[in-house]
């Protein structure tokens, strides 16, 4: 019970810091980084919900985010729909498209087929975008998408994204600790046992597919309103790789892992800019190293340290 409180206190401390940060002399640039962190950690957390918890080997989540982003961007820019409507619509559209076009076919298949289908789906999107140049702006993308409210500054965007970040994480936390979440863990750890308990694999996974694409699409909507533009480079190899790195680095199949990973990658990526063209080389090497030598990620490192400390404390208490 002791260490739970300790962790909880740390989490609260971090959240309070994030809440007060704009008044602690944050520059516009660091606020921008925090906004990126909020959005990418949501994308990573949802991806992890599919990959780490539900065992859906999706490789197309960046595509989901792009669908949401483009939907919100087009609605707001061409039709003048206000952002509090575009973001839910973006989520719903993404969820509908993804669940129908990918979820239903993919979930009937196993393992590697899902990875292939989702990857090829995300790979097809750029050529569709160039085809629909009049609406989506083709290779140039969409620019000057209206912000959340007229005259929004970075601090406003910061707080709106922060609230969104908290809400989505709360939802994911509840899912992970709900019967659905338990069903996933059961399915992941022992499929036959889960069947015996009456878990309907197809239905549970479809639920997660729909929900996770909904939240990822909404994150895409947040992204375009907070940053003002989106282009097919979002679908490129780099964002894809960065998000994979976030999940792997933080720890697959843990609640906090992807968030920690997102923090490290978003802020670390700025330092990596110094490395210039070597950046992708380093990222690739990072992913390989983690998978090969440290598959549990940062979370596992924390657990190891915690156990060490606990053992140390326990050894000391009886003697003194």
**129 vs 183, beta carbon nearer other proteins:** 129
Dist. CA 147–CA 228, nearest whole Å: 7
Nearest approach in angstroms of CB 245 to other proteins is 8
Dist. CA 204–CA 268, nearest whole Å: 36
Q: Give the contacts of 210 (CB within 8 A, at least 6 positions apart).
A: 95, 98, 99, 103
Question: Does residue 108 interact with other proteins by CB under 8 A?
Answer: yes
Of 273-292, which residues contact other proteins (CB under 8 A)?
277-278, 280-281, 283-288, 291-292
**52 vs 141, beta carbon nearer other proteins:** 52
Q: Which of 6, 295, 310, 313 binds other proteins (CB under 8 A)?
A: 295
Tell which phi-psi region holds residue 149, choosing left (phi > 0), alpha (psi between -120 and 50) or beta. beta
Q: Which of 18, 33, 119, 227 binds other proteins (CB under 8 A)?
A: 119
**119 vs 256, beta carbon nearer other proteins:** 119
Dist. CA 277–CA 274, nearest whole Å: 9
**24 vs 292, beta carbon nearer other proteins:** 292
Question: Does residue 120 interact with other proteins by CB under 8 A?
Answer: yes
Tell which phi-psi region holds residue 190, choosing left (phi > 0), alpha (psi between -120 and 50) or beta. beta
Question: Does residue 248 interact with other proteins by CB under 8 A?
Answer: yes
Nearest approach in angstroms of CB 281 to other proteins is 4
Using CB atoms within 10 A of its CB, is residue 185 exposed (0-12), middle (13-18) or buried (19+)?
Answer: middle
Tokens of 305: 């340290």
**120 vs 313, beta carbon nearer other proteins:** 120
Question: Does residue 112 interact with other proteins by CB under 8 A?
Answer: yes
Of 152-191, which residues contact other proteins (CB under 8 A)?
none
Nearest approach in angstroms of CB 292 to other proteins is 6
Question: Does residue 49 interact with other proteins by CB under 8 A?
Answer: no
Quick one: which segment of 4-12, 126-134, 214-222, 300-308 binds other proteins (CB under 8 A)? 126-134
Residues at the interface with other proteins (CB under 8 A): 51, 57, 59, 101, 105-106, 108-113, 115-117, 119-121, 123-124, 127-128, 130-131, 237, 241, 244, 248, 277-278, 280-281, 283-288, 291-292, 295
């Amino acid at each position: 019970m002791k260490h739970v409180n300790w962790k909880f206190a740390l989490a609260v401390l971090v959240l309070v810091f994030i809440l007060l940060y704009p008044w602690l002399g944050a520059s516009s640039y660091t606020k921008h980084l925090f906004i990126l962190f909020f959005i990418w950690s949501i994308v990573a957390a949802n991806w992890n919900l599919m990959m780490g918890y539900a065992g859906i080997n999706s490789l197309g989540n960046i595509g989901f985010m792009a669908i949401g982003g483009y939907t919100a961007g087009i609605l707001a820019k061409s039709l003048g729909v206000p952002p509090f409507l575009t973001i839910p619509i973006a989520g719903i559209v993404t969820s509908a498209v993804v669940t129908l076009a990918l979820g239903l076919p993919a979930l009937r298949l196993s393992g590697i087929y899902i990875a292939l289908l989702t990857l090829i789906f995300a790979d097809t999107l750029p050529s569709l975008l160039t085809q629909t140049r009049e609406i989506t702006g083709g290779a140039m993308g969409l620019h000057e998408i209206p912000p959340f409210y007229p005259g929004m500054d970075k601090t406003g965007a910061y707080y709106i994204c922060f609230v969104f970040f908290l809400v989505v994480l709360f939802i994911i936390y509840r899912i992970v600790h709900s019967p659905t979440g338990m069903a996933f863990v059961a399915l992941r750890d022992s499929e036959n046992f889960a069947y015996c308990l009456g878990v309907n694999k197809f239905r549970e996974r479809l639920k997660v597919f729909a929900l996770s694409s909904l939240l990822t699409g909404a994150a895409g909507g947040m992204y375009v309103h907070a940053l003002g533009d989106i282009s097919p480079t979002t679908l490129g190899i780099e964002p894809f790789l960065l998000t994979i790195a976030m999940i792997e680095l933080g720890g697959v199949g843990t609640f906090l892992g992807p968030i920690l990973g997102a923090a490290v990658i978003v802020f670390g990526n700025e330092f990596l800019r110094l490395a210039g063209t070597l950046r992708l080389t380093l990222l690739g090497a990072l992913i390989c190293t983690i998978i090969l030598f440290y598959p549990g990620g940062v979370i596992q490192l924390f657990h190891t340290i915690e156990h060490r400390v606990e053992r140390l404390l326990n050894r000391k208490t009886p003697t003194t």
